[in-house]
Amino acid sequence: MAERIVSPGVFTREKDLSFLPEAIGEIGAALIGPTEMGPAFVPTTIRNFGEFETLFGKETGDFYVPFTAKQYLRNAGALTIVRVLGLGGYTNDTFVLIASGSTYGVRALATLKPSRGAGASPFIGGPTSGSINSSANSASAFTLELDTNNDAAKESFSLSFSTASANYITNVFSENPQDNSKPVYVYSNFQNTQNQVAGDDVITFASGANENFSFDYKQA
C-alpha cells in the first residue's frame, strides 16, 4: 500500500486488490431435466445452443430440455443444465431375471422396469405380476409372461440371453425408458454375467414394488 501527498491536506492511497478472489461468473437460469446424452447430475454452464448440442444432444421429441434451452439462450448469455436420468422408470417397480445352474449358482442377468408404454397402472411388484413359461425354459430360450394390464391377463415375450439370438433381451425390449412400444425396458443388462452362465441354466425371476432408495444417499 502506497500513500502520496497530492496537496497540503490531500492524500491518495493505493490499495492492492490482486489477492481478492474472482467474482462468481454468470450461470443464468438452472434447467433440470433429461437429455439425450451428457454429464448427469453435474451443473454445467453453457453459453450458446451449439455448445448445448455438443454436450447434451440435439432437439428430440423425447425431451423438452433442448427446446427450453434454445429459447432461453435467444435472450440470455448463459444457462446452467443439470441432466437427470430415468433411474426408476415410470414406477418404482423392478423385475429381475435370474439364471439358476449347478456351475455358477444363482445370478442376476438383467433388470426390467416399467417404461412409458406401461401406462398409468403399475403391474410389476408381486408374485402374480409375471412368470416364466415352464414348457421351454433355459437361458438360451425362454418365455416371459407379464400382467401388463394389471388384470391377471398376461402378455408373452419370447426372450434369450444369447447375443446371437433375434430374441436377445435388448432386441425385444428397448433400453430407453421413453419407449412406448413395450410395457418394460431393460434398466440393467449384465452381459458379462450372461456370458458366464450355461445355455441350459433355468431362468427365474424376482420382483419388487415401491423401492426405497433412501439408503443410497445422504444429505450434504
User: Which pLDDT value is given to residue 113?
Assistant: 84
User: Which pLDDT value is given to residue 168?
Assistant: 96
Q: Are strands 142-146 and 155-159 parallel, antiparallel or unpaired?
A: antiparallel
Whole-angstrom CA distances from 11 to 1, 2, 6, 7, 15 are 13, 10, 6, 7, 13
Contact present, 154 and 130 (Cβ < 8 Å) = yes
User: Which pLDDT value is given to residue 216?
Assistant: 44
What amino acid is encoded at 146 in this protein?
A: L
Indicate the pTM of the whole model.
0.60
**Cα distance between residue 71 and residue 122, in whole Å:** 35
Region at 57 (left for phi over 0; alpha for psi -120 to 50; beta for the rest): left
Q: Is 64 helix (H, G, I), strand (E, B) or coil?
A: coil
Whole-angstrom CA distances from 173 to 43, 132, 134, 176 are 32, 16, 21, 9
**Cα distance between residue 21 and residue 172, in whole Å:** 55
User: Which pLDDT value is given to residue 90?
Assistant: 54
Low-confidence ranges of the chain (pLDDT < 50): 127, 213-220
What amino acid is encoded at 97 in this protein?
A: L
Q: Is 20 helix (H, G, I), strand (E, B) or coil?
A: coil
What amino acid is encoded at 60 in this protein?
A: T
Q: Is 176 helix (H, G, I), strand (E, B) or coil?
A: coil
User: Which pLDDT value is given to residue 217?
Assistant: 42
**Cα distance between residue 21 and residue 3, in whole Å:** 24
All cell numbers assigned to 145:
409372461
